[in-house]
Amino acid sequence: MSEKLLVPDIGEFEKVEVIELLVKVGDQINLNDPVVTIESDKSSVEIPSTVSGKIESVNIKVGDKVSKGDILLSIESSKESPSEKPIPKDTESIIKQAESVLKNEKKEEASQQSPAPEKKQTIIQVTNENDIDPLETQDWLESLSAVVEKDGNQRAHFLIKELINKAYQEGANIPYTQHTPYINTIPPEAEVKSNGDQNIERRIRSLIRWNAAAMVVRANKKFPELGGHIGTFASAATLYDVGMNHFWRAKNNKFGGDLVYFQGHSAPGIYARAFLEGRLNEKQLDSFRQEVKPGGLSSYPHPWLMPKFWQFPTVSMGLGPMLAIYQARYMKYLINRGLIKDEGRKVWAFLGDGEMDEPESLGAIGLASREKLDNLIFVINCNLQRLDGPVRGNGKIIQELEGSFRGAGWNVIKVIWGSYWDSLIANDKTGHLVKAMNETVDGEYQAMKARDGAYVREKFFGKYPETQELVSSLSDKDIWRLNRGGHDPHKVYAAYDQASKNQGSPTVIIAKTIKGYGMGKTGESVNTTHQTKKLDVDDLLYYRDRFDVPLTDDQVKNVEYFKPDEKSPEIKYIKERRTNLGGSLPERTTYAKPIKAPAKDIFDFMKVSTGEKEMSTTMALVRMFTNLLRDKNVSPRLVPIIPDEARTFGMEGFFQKIGIYAHEGQKYEPEDSAQLSSYREDKSGQVLEEGINEAGAMSSWIAAATAYTNHDIEMIPIYIFYSMFGFQRIGDLAWAAGDSQARGFLIGATAGRTTLAGEGLQHQDGHSHLIASTIPNCVTYDPTFHYELAVIFREGLRRMHEKNENVFYYITTMNENYSHPGMPKDKNCEEGILKGMYKIKEFNRYGKTKIQLLGSGTILREMMSAAEILQNEYQIDSEIWSVTSFNELRKDGMEVERYNLLNPDKEQKVSFVEQCLGKTEGPIMAASDYMRMNSDQIRPYTNKSFYSLGTDGYGRSDTRKNLRKFFEVDKEHIVAYGLSVLAKEQLIASKYAKEAIKKYNIDGSKPMPTKL
């Protein structure tokens, strides 16, 4: 049966050009195989076949213009009975989701009807002075207690929910709260007990505490300027110890490993544990914060500095939480795309309560719950202190965080009180103890732990006669022993166990601790704890005694480390626990297989002239992506990341071709479902559509760009964004990407201060290359033509993903349409493109006066036009150089200069800039669509007179022509400046420059654009 394949609904476009025919007569094709590529001035998209069969005839050719309904092909279709037709993927997904919902509803109904196993609950009676009828209240509370005892928590929860719903229906204005009382989430009777040896674990923990503190103190005794932090790990030691001994599984040949984001200031404790495990030696500990010589330990987690140890840079406050969320989401992405197995791996992130004030810390918690990231666990160490003082002196940070996370849909586990409080809480029959706990603010809690038991008795328990009576039989010493939950391994173990088993939502464990725990009068719970780098002898002796470290007084005074014999129970135990959990943590390894770079001919179409056809470099990039998606090695590894601008960049064709990742698939029919580029979400979708969220998009990019080490799979992330909203907006994340040894492409689209015409000051980028140049392993390019882009991109694929170099690429592309010439035949052209510059054109008609013109991005075209004017109207010859990267030229120049200065007796090297320009005639003038500083970078590396033009100042809305005139980088200004340069160099008379300035109506008295 012969069927016609017609042009589908392509939206608002008419007469769209056919740029590729992907099939020919006689080809056998399958449903959804791409057959034709069409391209408007805004986007490029493939048209898929709607049937399977054999091509009978092709009705169009490359260059034809087509519209909706035009015939493309005739196909002899394969017959398929209706009963054998597969259910469309989206429909099948909807059916599965509906079945899942029905199953869940049945489960919920069953759980509500069948009584839970009986478990005795602790009933707390809370007195409220605002209660107008305490007897009625007591009746309700007793009824609720009876339901809990008879039918379990689920039934009680159901009844409360129904009561609230009924109250809303009756018009009651119920205040919304996400807070629970200031007690532990898990009651003692529900705690899962650890199977570890608690005595040995305490001894190990004590040794780790001591060695961590000793390492910092020893370093600062030698060099007081080194600094370091003792107080943070002192508060978090138990939180890490329980995880290391029982929960965190390492990567090995059988398992992908859990991922742990260690809190940056806790690094000394992680080193101290590695010392006991035999992974670090005493010499290395003594090189803490002394990294210039090999073997030093970095101040904080830095993979760049310790590439076999640290996995994640976390010390820039706020980045750890956001990166962990997107790492957990990316893990699900890889699983749902079938690229890695679902092994039940977890992402753990350790955070400080002070850190949670950073916008990034809480900025993505809604995404974590929306995506049901039950592979994510936050542990927030609430020691109640930041660097200068209390986090919330007048409030309660734990309650505040509970409300934020619970409101966002997280599973919240509070670990506030240690086991010594259990009997007190159980005996609090009047509720006054919990009332006091709720009322006491963090500033008070901090002060209490800086004093003693008598102070706590007076200030806390003395608030009510009932609470005073509760502790009447306890001594002040007993009261002082009442511990906080984050220091109690039993409470921490129970919380970790529950968090690890939670399904359907992310979990946050909020643990209350004491900053500087065990540090004595110098550091425990005092405002200066964070700055404490040294401990005096009395404090060290107190620390030793507090944690029973087996050192003599003289050893303490000498601040010696302590490591038991290899055959000791402690060392055998610590190694056994890690062996059982798969190996060491943290540890950074990779077993990823390289991706073979695509054959050169895949980019050949970008090396020929476009003729009269005009396109932007952004559109050329999209064409290249489309071709890469046909390469079987590269295609599955591509991760396109877009912050809600796919249509701006002409990438909407990817929606249908590879789908938008959505963990639940697509539950709705999109408004544009009839169109070729309709919005298609899919559980196995490839595009990460991040919405208006550059920080989130960059976090996804970092997760993908480090997948080679964290998931042992090489991926090719390509994050495309408005260039102004790249490095300027997420500079700290870009720096972390460099530290993480990320590999991938950042594409700064709609780049250039005068190229993105109408958007104005906030959107027009004139400095992203300068910001990018600050990152040592970031390779940057600003290409003008499509063949330059092709050469750069293929080399990036080769270097990063075939040769595994730890660099990442930043490439700017523009939205200005113009025709592109073919690639020059010069054999050195490709080398020049990659090194940063090559000669693209030369004017030698007169053989007298000459100038060297260097241009990059779209301003290269202004240079080329100016060169023609100089030749035709002023008899000035020129050589025109396309500068693809001032940054790369600067790197080469610095390296050559350094070598020559350090090796004065050896043959002197020549910079690539000088190799290109050293033997040419005339002065140099360089221009780009960026600040003058961009091109000024290469000024020191040539012996010729050097002048630069650029777009210094704030952008503004106008046409490209007017903007280039305003910033003085249009062809007319280039001509006038060029003549002035030649006059200044005494190569021509100054009258020519003066005449040109007058001819082009250039106002010499106009202020610099930076002042306007």
Give the pLDDT of residue 330: 98
Q: With 50 as the cut, is the pLDDT of residue 83 above it?
A: no
Cβ atoms < 10 Å from Cβ of 725: 20
Mean local confidence (pLDDT), 752-758:
90
508 is written with which tokens? 């946050």
Distance CA 486, CA 491 (A): 7
pLDDT reported for residue 98: 53
Nearest CA-CA partner of 889 in 832, 811, 822, 843? 832
Q: Evaluate whether 855 touches 882 at the Cβ level (below 8 Å).
A: yes
Note the pLDDT tens digit of each residue in 53-82: 999 999 999 889 999 889 999 998 875 544
CA 536 to chain centre: 41
Both tokens assigned to 667: 């539950």
Quote the pLDDT of residue 528. Answer: 64
CA distance 372 to 333: 12
Name, in order, each residue with C-beta under 8 angstroms of 146's C-beta and a sequence gap of 6 or more: none
In this predicted structure, what is the pLDDT of residue 113?
A: 46
Q: Tell me the average pLDDT across 272-283.
A: 97
Q: What does the pLDDT look like over 725-735, one tens digit per residue?
A: 999 999 999 99
- Binding site: residue ranges? 353, 383, 385
> Could you tell me which of 882, 879, 883, 905 has the C-alpha nearest to residue 892?
883
Burial class (CB in 10 A: 0-12, 13-18, 19+), 709: buried
Rounded CA-CA distance 333/440 in Å is 44
Tell me which CATH code domain 604-644+686-818 carries. 3.40.50.970
Neighbours of 550 (CB within 10 A): 12
pLDDT tens, position by position, 183-239: 999 999 999 999 999 999 999 999 999 999 999 999 988 898 888 888 889 999 999
pLDDT on residue 1001: 95
> What is the radius of gyration, based on Cα positions, of the chain?
34
Mean pLDDT (whole number) for 267-276: 97
Domain made up of 828-1000: CATH architecture: 3-Layer(aba) Sandwich (3.40)
Q: Using an 8 Å Cβ cutoff, are 311 and 710 in contact?
A: yes
Q: Which among 289, 168, 272 is positioned nearest to 222, based on CA atoms?
A: 289
Mean pLDDT of the chain, nearest integer:
91
pLDDT at 525 over 70: no
CA distance 865 to 872: 11
> Where residue 11 falls among pLDDT bands split at 50, 70, 90?
confident
The SS3 of residue 150 is helix
Nearest alpha carbon to residue 201 among 516, 493, 497, 515: 493
Of 945, 937, 970, 966, whose CA–CA distance to 767 is shortest?
A: 937
pLDDT in tens, 447-470: 998 889 999 999 999 999 999 999
pLDDT greater than 80 at residue 121? no
User: How many angstroms separate the CA atoms of 179 and 173, rounded?
Assistant: 18
- CA dist., res. 826 & res. 377, Å (int): 57
Query: Is the confidence at residue 108, as pLDDT, over 90?
Result: no
Task: Write the CA distances from 672 to 12, 203, 679, 680, 691, integer angstroms.
Answer: 12, 65, 7, 10, 18
Q: How confident is the model at residue 673 (pLDDT cuts 50, 70, 90)?
A: confident
In the predicted model, is pLDDT for residue 123 greater than 70? no
Q: What angle do CA 235, 236, 240 make, to 5 degrees?
A: 160
| Amino acid identity, position 219 | A
pLDDT tens across 324-371, in order?
A: 999 999 999 999 999 999 999 999 999 999 999 999 999 999 999 999
Give the closest residue to 211 by CA, choosing from 230, 192, 227: 230
Which range, of 125-129, 693-697, 821-825, averages the lowest pLDDT? 125-129
Return d(Cα 226, Cα 224) in angstroms, integer. Answer: 6
Angle, in degrees to the nearest 10, between helices 786-797 and 617-628: 40
Between CA 711 and CA 706 the distance in angstroms is: 8
Residue 119 is predicted with a pLDDT of: 42
Do the beta carbons of residue 259 and residue 347 sit within 8 Å? yes
Distances (CA, A) of 447 to 236, 266, 771: 19, 23, 45
- Binding-site residue numbers for Mg(2+) are 353, 383, 385
Query: What letter does residue 512 receive in the DSSP assignment?
Result: E
How far, rounded to the nearest angstrom, does the alpha carbon of residue 600 sit from its chain's CA centroid?
32
* pLDDT level of residue 601 (50, 70, 90 thresholds): confident
Q: Is the pLDDT of residue 575 over 80?
A: yes
Please give the backbone phi and psi of residue 872, each rounded to the nearest 5 degrees, phi first. Answer: -75, -35
Query: What CATH number should be reported for the domain whose range is 2-76?
Result: 2.40.50.100
Q: Say which DSSP state 798 is in.
A: I
Check residue 597 and give its pLDDT.
83
Element of type H or E holding 657:
helix 653-658
The residues, ordered by sequence, that sit 6+ positions from 494 with a Cβ below 8 Å of its Cβ are 186, 190, 191, 192, 193
Beta strand pairing call for 53-58 and 28-29: antiparallel
- What's the rounded Cα separation, in Å, for the pair 189 and 500? 19
Helix (H) or strand (E) holding 811: strand 808-812
Helices 489-501, 198-222: inter-axial angle, 10-degree rounding:
100
What does the angle CA 600 – CA 606 – CA 611 come to, to the nearest 5 degrees?
Answer: 150
Per-residue pLDDT tens over the stretch 147-161? 988 898 889 888 888
pLDDT of 676: 85
Render pLDDT for 772-801 as a digit per residue (tens, 0 to 9): 999 999 999 999 999 999 999 999 999 999
Q: Measured between alpha carbons, how far is 526 from 533 in angstroms, rounded to an integer?
A: 14
Q: Which letter, b or e, does each residue of 457-471 get, where b requires 16 or more Cβ atoms within 10 Å of its Cβ?
A: beebbebbebbeebb
> Element (H or E) spanning 977, and its range?
helix 971-984
Give the C-alpha separation, 696 to 642, whole Å.
10
Count, residues in the chain: 1012
Q: In this structure, what DSSP letter does residue 908 have?
A: P
**Burial of 11: CB neighbours in 10 Å, binned 0-12, 13-18, 19+:** buried
* Residue range 869-876: mean pLDDT, rounded: 96
User: What is the helix (H) or strand (E) element at residue 4, kind and residue range?
Assistant: strand 2-6
Distance CA 235, CA 382 (A): 9
Q: Among 3.30.230.80, 3.40.120.10, 3.50.30.30, 3.40.50.970, what is the CATH number of 199-418+483-581?
A: 3.40.50.970
Return the SS3 of 418.
Answer: coil
Cβ(371)–Cβ(364) below 8 Å: no
